[in-house]
Amino acid sequence: MAAMRKRVGIIGASGNVGRGAAELLAGNKDIIVRLGCRNPPQSMEKGQNIEIMTVDIYIKEQLAEFVRDCSAVINCAGPASEIRTRVAKVCMEKEICYIDAAGNKSVYKELKQLSPSCPPAMSIVSAGIYPGLTEMFAIWAVNRIDGEIYFLEEIFFGNNMLSLHAAEDICETLDADEGKTFAYYDNGTIAKIDFDARGQEKIPGLAEPVSVIPVIYDEFAAAMKMKRVNKAVFYNSFSSQGSLIRFVDIKNNLKNNTEYSSDKTALVRDIFWSPELEQIFTLIVELKAEENGQLVRRRYVLSSTENWNTVTGYVAAILSRQILSGNDKKPGLYFASEIADIDNIIEELRINSVITIKCFQKIVQKGP
């Protein structure tokens, strides 16, 4: 007897993130993909394993009908600052696995407060690129060291066009001061940087160095704690010093409740997109560790020329497939990096030529 096919719902299926998730899942014959958005475009076609439903996430009855019969629901809609836990709450009430392609500290807190009053279900947030793949790649690199890791640095650079919703979410996180600048992870705590941090970095493929700024956020700190890394720094980066200054200016104005332009989302989008540069996102992880009696420095470089919104959808979709195929669906609230089969996600992205990874190693000091 053939196994019953499982259904994955994708909310916000007409956007770049949703289309990426749908594209990756559509070729899987064991999964029925239910695409949902407020006004499905005519270009969105049904298929043998593709369903299309009109759903307004602000109408609970429509949302409940959409998630019915789903084993998992991927939320690709935005902005998170407006949607909050609307989709997640309905999934939790129906005991359906909820996967959020975005990361938002305030939403995570709300989900944590909801959990005790809802039936046991699995909810996963930060299943995109940043946060998401950034922590996964750091963990992936750590897993390739057979020894103690003294110091880890990760650098994120991206030159891509942000969606309006993503820009709005960035503004909200800046307003809430979620990421702590000039801070790092230090043996389980967050501390102010008391050493010479990087200010510039050469990114492969770019002619000029980019400006970097250390910032710590919850998902990265949780990943470092889980892997027992001693000290770790995460750097966000900008194509120029001018872009970095504009970003800090936006953050300070929002944090200090200064009257600010209503078009701040456009300013944020301009900061992360330089038309004269190639579309790219890059993750660099550099480790200092003891391995086989030697002090080594190893660097892993992940690069992609794909649209980062689309790749965010890929990551969430691969994770949903992992959850559906697993037998140990543990109820609870997780960051994606805490629950994912990271090797599988990285390998699938590589096989499909979405990313490339290069490794460089230097022996700093030989053992006795």
Of 80, 25, 29, the closest CA to residue 316 belongs to 25
Higher pLDDT, 228 or 28: 228
| Rounded average pLDDT over 155-160 | 94
How far the first Cα of the chain sits from its last, in Å, is 62
Report pLDDT for 363: 73
Overall fold of domain 6-128+309-340: Rossmann fold (3.40.50)
In degrees and rounded to multiples of 5, residue 193 shows phi and psi of -65, 125
Domain ranges of the chain: 6-128+309-340, 133-306+351-365
pLDDT higher than 80, residue 329: no
| Rounded average pLDDT over 331-343 | 94
Q: In sequence order, which residues have a C-beta less than 8 Å from that of residue 113 and are 6 or more positions away?
A: none
264-315 pLDDT tens trace: 788 888 888 888 888 999 999 999 999 888 899 999 999 999 999 999 999 9
Overall fold of domain 133-306+351-365: Dihydrodipicolinate Reductase; domain 2 (3.30.360)
Higher pLDDT, 116 or 258: 116
> How distant, in Å, are the alpha carbons of 34, 111, 142, 182, 185 from that of 225?
37, 22, 12, 19, 9
Report the C-alpha gap between 356 and 79 in whole angstroms.
Answer: 30
Q: In sequence order, which residues have a C-beta less than 8 Å from that of residue 51 and are 6 or more positions away?
A: 7, 32, 33, 34, 35
HSE, side-chain direction, 13 A CA sphere, residue 83: 25
